[in-house]
Structures are given as structure tokens and as C-alpha cells.
Amino acid sequence: MIKVLIVDDSIVSRQLLKYIFYLSGDIDVVAEAKDGAEAIRIIDDRKAPRPDIITMDIEMPGIDGYETTKHILERHPVPIVIISNAMQYYSAEKAFRAMQAGAIAAVGKPPGLGSPDFYQKARELIDLIKRISGIKVRPRLSTAELEGHQKDSVHKSQVVEQKPLSRDQLQTWAQQNSPGIVAIGASTGGPPAIQAILARLPADFPLPIVIVQHIASGLAKNFAEWLDKTCPLHCKLSEESERMRPNTVYIAPNDIHLKVAYPDTLQFQMPDANELIVPAAEVLFHSVAEVYGSRAIGILLTGMGRDGSRGLLELKKAGALTIAQDRESSVVYGMPGEAEKLGAACCYLPPESIAKILLEIYNAARKEKEQTR
């Protein structure tokens, strides 16, 4: 049985979650808390049952969900899922900050029993809880610690034999290929990893950046708004047939695939009825390989499953610069791990080091521009 602690100030929401978990047959609610302070007391009590996972509301009286998540994860390595009606930006921002603090994922609250979507949303929540309950939560590393792991991560892997690219190699590649786009795919643990990369790039970064992040339905727009507020670059939700611009980050919307087309245009693609992953990094990477080839930079970050791994290999075969997140900094080394098995990435690095590579590309482009004046 998966043991769950529910933290929510609404008794109605707690009862609904308890009923959903009861329906699963193998999720047991071992405790519930009406606010953050009570949740902290329960988790600090050595005599209380130890939960395998915590569901956390964001808006609560007293200590809110963000502060509670931060406090708990400083002391206890327990997977936390934010379950909140975080559709308004103020609440959504707290949810993404909670993920920065170590929460695994954020989803909206399921609808009530009278909703026609109740059982579908209940199944989705149960599936998420089951998948996340097995994640081993590690303390979040500082930037210096993450970069200190970079060298070790290369030598620990039995598959990766390549060393991180040098500055000269990056500048030579940039000069030879004139990169035109950065494509990023991510899933579980992706929002803080993406933010860590984008926050280190200048506002005049010369390439468009297109991102597929697996995220709960309805939260893609909030994610774009949070990135726009916390990063120098302009970040927005992608639009159909939109012409891409430099200095701009485009986030894939929920429930439809995003790809690129010539010339520098974004397109939506309707998924097949049996597709489980929508939007998919595979679709984005495949289109980028076709349109940009060696002029692309492909990045695959933390996440469950294998989405994006074959697309990253396709990009590499086309001559693109391909990067995957390393094991030590990944919340889940599923997608990058599949890329590693395929030999799809040129190097495997933490987000902060990935940002450094993009900055080298930026500097190379700026240097070339100055020389042509």
C-alpha cells in the first residue's frame, strides 16, 4: 500500500481525495492536515505513520503550501505533489516555487463527484501518485555542488564516454553551423530545471527557444507566465502559425503537439486518439531535425519515460548539438537515461552547466557579428 498524507484546509477537498484514493485499492491515507503547521507537526512526529508521499494544497491559512513544502523537504526526503486550484497566476506562481523547493509535480484539484470528468481525472491523479511514490527525493544541490558533480557524472556512467565540450569546440561548432533554434523537452522535475537554464540567459539571447514540458492540463499558460516573470527572456504560450523571433521562449500548450515548420514558424499537430504523451518532445525534436538539421541545439531534461530520446538521437545524426541532463541533478533520470542508452547526447550536464553552454553559443554569435561589422 502507498501511504499518503493529505494537506488541505478544505474538508471537502480532503474527503474527495480520500475517496479517490480509496477507489484505487492500494493507496492508504495515513494522516490528514488542515494547514501547514499541522502537516509539519505530523511529519516531525517520529511516532506518526511515515507517508510515502504528501499531497499539498497551496493556498492555506498560516503557513502556505510553498513554505510548508520548503520546510518539510529541508528535513524529510518525501515526494510532494501540489494539488491545488492554481489556475490564477498568484497561486500558480507559488506552485512553481514549491517545485523549485523540491515538490515533484503540480496538478489542479479533481472535479466533484457530479462532474462528467470525475472518474477520468481521478484515474489520472491515482496514476500520478503511483508513479511518483517510487521517486527517491534527494536534497536539492546548490549551483556549486551541481557543477562539482559534472565531472563525476561523466566518469560514473557506463555508457557516456564523451567529455563536456570545450569553449573552443562550442565556438567552432557555432561558427560552422550558425545555430537557429534551441529545442527543449522535459517532464517530471522539468519546471525548475528549465527555469534554472533560462534565468541565466541574457534578454538578448539571439535564438528562439521552443519548449515541450509535460504539465498538468490548464497549467501551461501559468508556466509560461511564471517563466516570463522570473527570467530575462520573454516567455509566452505558443500560438498556431506564429513566426518565431529571437530573444523569445515559446511554451507548448496543453493537449496538442507543437512542432516547427519552414520558415521559422510554429505549428500545432492534433494527436492520435491512442497517444498518451501530448505534447511530446519527440514530435518537436523530429520537426526541428527536419527543418534545422545541424543548425539546431536539442536539450532533453529530467522526466519519466522515454519521450524525446529518439528525437534527440535524430537531431544528433543531423549534426545538431545535443545535450541531456545528468543523473545527479535529475529528479527522474528516465528520459535522459534513455537518451544515454542510445548515445543521443554530446554531453550530460546539470541545468546550470547547460546554461553555460548556451552562453558560449551566445558569445560566439556576438563575436561573429562584431567581426562582420
Catalytic residues: 187, 214, 307
Q: Which residue intervals of 160-294 are DSSP H helices?
A: 167-177, 190-198, 220-230, 281-291
Contact 350, 149 (CB under 8 A): yes
- Measured distance CA(213)–CA(187) in Å, rounded: 6
Cell 528525437 belongs to which residue?
Answer: 311
Cis peptide before 279 (omega within 30 of 0): yes
Q: Which residues contact 371 (CB under 8 A, 6 or more apart)?
A: none
SS3 per residue for 115-167: CCCHHHHHHHHHHHHHHHHCCCCCCCCCHHHHHHHHHHHHHHCCCCCCCCCCH
| Strands lying side by side in the sheet with 2-7 | 27-33, 2-7, 53-56, 80-83, 105-107
